[in-house]
Amino acid sequence: MKILVPSPVTPNKNSLRTIYISEIIKNLKEITNLDFFWFVYQPDKLESFNFSDFNILDIHDFNNAMDCLNQIKPDCVMIGSSYEPIQYAFSIACKKLKIRLVSFSYFGYEYFEKAVAEHQDQSQFMTKSNKIVSHLRNIISNKVPTDSEEQKFFLRRLKFILYKMKFLKRTKESIGYKTNFFQEIFSYSSDSFLRKELPINKFPDLHLLPDDSWIEHLKSIGIDKEKLCITGSPYWDQLYQNSKRYNPKKITDNKISILIITDALVEHGIWNKNKFTSFISDLITELSKKPEFSFSFKIHPVSEHKTKYQNLFQQLGNNFVIYQQENIWDIIEKFDLIITFGFSTIHSELSLLGAKMILLDFDFVFPLSPFVKEGIEFGNVLRCTDINHLNNMIVNFTNKSNITDKSFISSRENFLYKFDGKSGLRVSEALIKLINNNTTEKKQI
């Protein structure tokens, strides 16, 4: 069996896509022989790579998606659920070549709605000129979120957007579609300016769903119910394993250890650098007032860079530990509680396992991630709206026990579809069934 996945990140990065797909690969390899192809699209050609579970393909080695598929001849292609240019290019190429196309969603429809709400809420409190400035700052950035500081280059992000749109254009032309490159660029840019969520891709033969919350929405936009398959999200499989070994740290002295989990708000054009610097500086200043506090930072594994924090800490005369590629659940037991901000999947993970978390919300206008509302109701998550109250809140919070009683567990089971660590297996079985049916249909033709 051959499966191909287009991805903006390499498989060594601890991203949503790599976690989700890795669980599927692990299960498929126990069932069948598997050749797995990871099609990477980044601004620069990959210099070197060696991954045991993946065959790496580089977008710079192909003229269009048809070229790639004709060379690899996969049994199926797995894509995200929206019309991002490269995902769209592979969608129309699969249809032309009659290759099975499978889309996947990491989380329930509630998460999708909250992501849209985040964009709308951010825009609601911005003037028209500020919206334009915010978008321009994002689109003319000198780097893309996966870049290191050394890869910065003038208008790098804009040039890469144009590169991806040209890849899509060449794919359409190879199939025989009529294209209007400038109209498509205008449409794509307009959606970005308005901070619209990209529309759902209707091309897939199978939509893998994390739960039943997506069904009514997908049916309402014309997707046949027969193409919908509820498997649960393999993203949560590892969390299930972590839930078995997670033991909240017990305080044995007056020292309180804190992990600050950040969000890539600058890299995604939501905050500017000055706002970020001011916020982090104020946070460090406030926490440093308590000598019994010690704290470290866990930054985004893909979109943020250690040098940004190292330079800031040096200016402030501090030298804090910075975690990045480490799995949060491998280090969390070192800490008494978590402080975080923004809108992130890690907020949901922490809430689902009942970890103590303080969510900073100083008029940031971010929606709550899924299950965080429940975490607040159970008392495992606190919302801090005034930095002057933060230190006392930390002291009081650490003296309370985590709440993971039957009511909490029941609420979690209602939120997740079969929290059993077997979603990757269910996806694997669905893929094998789809590919076998396609093989039978081709033989009959």
Distance CA 172, CA 177 (A): 5
β-pair type (322-323, 55-58): unpaired
Q: Which of the two residues, 159 and 76, has the higher pLDDT score?
A: 76
Residues 415-426 pLDDT 10s? 888 899 999 999
User: What is the reported pTM?
Assistant: 0.82
- Which pLDDT belongs to residue 137? 60
If you average pLDDT over residues 301-306, what whole number do you get? 87
Class of domain 247-415: alpha beta
Considering the chain, what is the average pLDDT of its residues?
86
Residues 342-396 pLDDT 10s? 989 999 999 999 999 999 999 887 888 888 999 999 999 999 999 999 999 999 9
> Taking a C-beta distance cutoff of 8 angstroms, is the pair 434, 76 a contact?
yes
> Taking a C-beta distance cutoff of 8 angstroms, is the pair 301, 263 a contact?
no
Reported confidence tier of residue 266, pLDDT bands at 50, 70, 90: confident
CA R_g for the chain: 23
Continuous H helices in 109-175: 109-124, 128-139, 156-175
Distance CA 144, CA 138 (A): 9
Q: Of the candidates 57, 12, 56, 54, which has an alpha carbon nearest to the alpha carbon of residue 29? A: 54
Report the first-to-last Cα separation within the chain, whole angstroms.
Answer: 21
* Residue 416 structure tokens: 């997740």
- pLDDT-wise least confident of 207-211, 247-251, 255-259: 247-251
Residues 99-117 pLDDT 10s? 999 999 998 887 666 555 5
Length of the chain: 445
- Which pLDDT belongs to residue 193? 47
* Residue 323 structure tokens: 């975690």
> Taking a C-beta distance cutoff of 8 angstroms, is the pair 4, 72 a contact?
yes
Residues 76-97 pLDDT 10s? 999 998 878 999 999 999 999 9
- Which pLDDT belongs to residue 148? 61
Q: Of the candidates 358, 342, 361, which has an alpha carbon nearest to the alpha carbon of residue 393? A: 358
* Residue 419 structure tokens: 């929290």
Reported confidence tier of residue 271, pLDDT bands at 50, 70, 90: confident
Q: Which percentage of the chain shows pLDDT scores above 90?
A: 58
> Taking a C-beta distance cutoff of 8 angstroms, is the pair 406, 400 a contact?
no
> Taking a C-beta distance cutoff of 8 angstroms, is the pair 243, 420 a contact?
no
Distance CA 435, CA 425 (A): 15
Are domains 2-110+166-233+418-444 and 247-415 of this chain identical in fold? yes
DSSP of 356-412, one letter per residue? -EEEE-SS--PPPPTTHHHHHHHTSEEEE--GGGHHHHHHHHHTSPP---HHHHHHH
- Which pLDDT belongs to residue 116? 55
DSSP of 22-63, one letter per residue? HHHHHHHHHHS--EEEEEE--SS-------TT-EEEEGGG-S
- Which pLDDT belongs to residue 125? 42
- pLDDT of residue 41 exceeding 80, the answer is yes
- What is the topology classification, in CATH, of domain 2-110+166-233+418-444? Rossmann fold (3.40.50)
Distance CA 210, CA 231 (A): 6
Domain ranges of the chain: 2-110+166-233+418-444, 247-415
Q: Which percentage of the chain shows pLDDT scores above 70?
A: 84
